[in-house]
A and B are shown apart, each in its own frame.
Chain A
Amino acid sequence: MTSLTNIQSIPYFIPELILVVFAVGAILLDLVNRGRNTERVAYLALVGVAATLIAVIAVGSSEKSLFLGMIRLDSFAVFFKIIILVATAVTVIFSIKSEELDPRMKGEYYALLIAVTFGMFLMVSSKNLLMIFISLETVSLTSYILAGFLTHNPRSSEAAFKYITYGAVASGTMLFGFSLLFGLTGTGDVVQISHRLTEMFSAGEAYPLVVLVIITFILAGIGYKMASVPFHMWSPDVYEGAPIPITAFLSVASKAAGFALFIRLFYSTFQASNIVGSVDWSLMLSIVSALTMTLGNLAALPQQNVKRLLAYSSIAHGGYLLMGATLLTPEGIQAILFYFITYLFMNLGAFFVVVLIANELGSETIDGYRNLWSRAPFVAVSMAIFLFSLTGIPPLAGFFGKWWLFMAVIKQELYWLAVVGLLNSVVSLYYYARIVKAMFLESSDETDAISFSWGNLALLVVFVVPTIIIGFWNTVYEVSRASLGRIVG
């Protein structure tokens, strides 16, 4: 394993550099335009994302450690970078369409969005405690600002306030865990930490209690990014109060980055069998996972606000994903990667419908979706497809995502977890179906048709088609298998 020096690393760091250039460029363009024509800034951001995507693919994964072992460029990182870029591009497009954002402020909004993408790039590839903390804070600080971006909306300010209070405490707790881990092993590099810990445990010199405390503290920080119980409390409020495009972004990209960081850190640091043998964090996680999906689903049942409902549903999906992470097997990680591909399309699709309805009807409640079937048939059918896919009904993408997750769980003979997951999927059908019922079966006073622009409908197709076909597309599964690579190294 070679780690390159700073100069040698730069060619492999081009995607991130492109993001930085475009983030600065977006600010400058906004300054030159003096807050008018912010659509131009949006197009600049889209060009930036496209250029970064090309660079990510061109640079590829070289299985190298960059910047003296600070970050690692492997296929696992590349996979998550592409997921994050797609989510960013979609968020920029949502933001152009969204009417809740102040048009004069949108310029710096896009710059921040690119900055948060940059932070996530570092998050999915960092392999040093310092780098992990810096990248996590870059993402968090920018997300706080974006969540509170509707400055004249009390709900948005409140969301930002709750977000930063929970977030700062969680990341502080994580840093405290990092400091203890650093003291225990004398290094910040996760691979060396793993070696030292393994030595300590096999020599019988380690204190399992200390390692347990460290793992719990670190889980506080990362669990908050993944919105897992008991660190989920911020997420419904933030998802409801933040601008809808940001909610969509947080529920996909932020969650993906959190999972990538979690998998890389825990699977490289604490995976050795003698560590798991004396500190069973995998059991701890499977309990957290069961609690997360149960709480997410039960709390979603009575919700009337669709954004809030999708927030709880996203907590529940975090619980399903965590199932895969508890297994310590390649199958589990592979299932997580595949699930993220499906989740990307179905969740962003559902949020896009929420954006469209909020623009046209100004409503975020389920009542606003009544009789949508006769007013805008295509949108209603698409929404139904996304919701059924989120439930996991065959033959939609969500079913296959869950299928692989449950198969991985059953293969490890964690039957109780699989049963909890299945029961939860049944519960989730109830609240997703409530929206479908409102759209198709309930009548409302408003019956005139709503017309959407062709661009919006075409974009909707971009989400609907993958949601239907991904499960039958073997290549997608191959991609998630190939992206596994060697996380540890």
Chain B
Amino acid sequence: MENTQEKRRILIIDDEAGFTRMVKLNLEKAGPYEVREENRALHAVAAAREFKPDLILLDVIMPAMDGGDVAAKIKNDPHLRGTPIVFLTATVTVREAGKAGLNAGGDLFLAKPISVDALIEVIHKHARPPEPPAEKAGPA
């Protein structure tokens, strides 16, 4: 493993466990990524607070709570505010997403199925650069 400090932290929130595992496998195999899976939408915010990701991959349609609500909570959270979110959607088109009020923050959407190359390209473009270790170690 390389220096963990330099790894990008990616949180993927999706109820499809097979998919989150594939993303984790691919990303961690392909580059300096640390991927954390969360398959329960209700635990998404807590997981994000704890993990402090550089980018969140967020499924739109999930049981109990959909991606839009999760995103809203994250954006309203003072510790998580500013974390880039990339929506992953299996059904809705961009226009549909707009209708659902999901593009309010100029968020990015990726339609499933998505290739590993495309995913890496998006993450590379939008993920927050890694925080300095001092700040990261400091109190929240």
The answer to whether A binds B is no
Taking beta carbons and an 8 Å cutoff, which residues of B are in contact with A?
Answer: none
Taking beta carbons and an 8 Å cutoff, which residues of A are in contact with B?
Answer: none
